[in-house]
Amino acid sequence: MKNRLTFSLNFWIYSSRAKNDKVPIYARITVNGGRANFSLKRRIAENDWDAARGIMRGTRQESKLLNKYLDQVRSKIYTA
C-alpha cells in the first residue's frame, strides 16, 4: 500500500473581516487534506489583491515590501 503525502500553501484575503476598507491576509497550509489557517497580521485594500497568484498587485513600494514579506513567510514554512 502506497502512502501519498500532499502539502500546499496558499495566501488569501478574508473579505468578510474588512475594517476601514482593509482586509486581513491569511495563510492556509494543507497537509493530507487537513487545513490550518493563520493570520499574517497584515491588511491591504481588497482590490489590490491578486487572488490567482496570491500576491499584492502593483509596483509601488508598499506592494514590493508586502510581496517580499510573503516570500519570506513562504520560505520559512517550506523550510520547517
Sorted by sequence, the CB contacts under 8 Å of residue 53 that are 6+ apart come out as: none
Does 2 fall in a domain? Answer: no
Does 1 fall in a domain? Answer: no
Q: Read off the amino acid at residue 55.
A: I
Does 62 fall in a domain? Answer: yes
pTM: 0.84
Count of residues making up the chain: 80
pLDDT by position in tens, the chain (length 80): 567 788 999 999 988 888 888 999 999 999 988 999 999 999 999 899 999 998 899 899 999 999 999 999 999 999 98
27: containing domain = 7-79
Sorted by sequence, the CB contacts under 8 Å of residue 51 that are 6+ apart come out as: 12, 13
Sorted by sequence, the CB contacts under 8 Å of residue 34 that are 6+ apart come out as: none
Cα distance between residue 76 and residue 57, in whole Å: 22
Does 32 fall in a domain? Answer: yes
Q: How many domains does the chain have?
A: 1
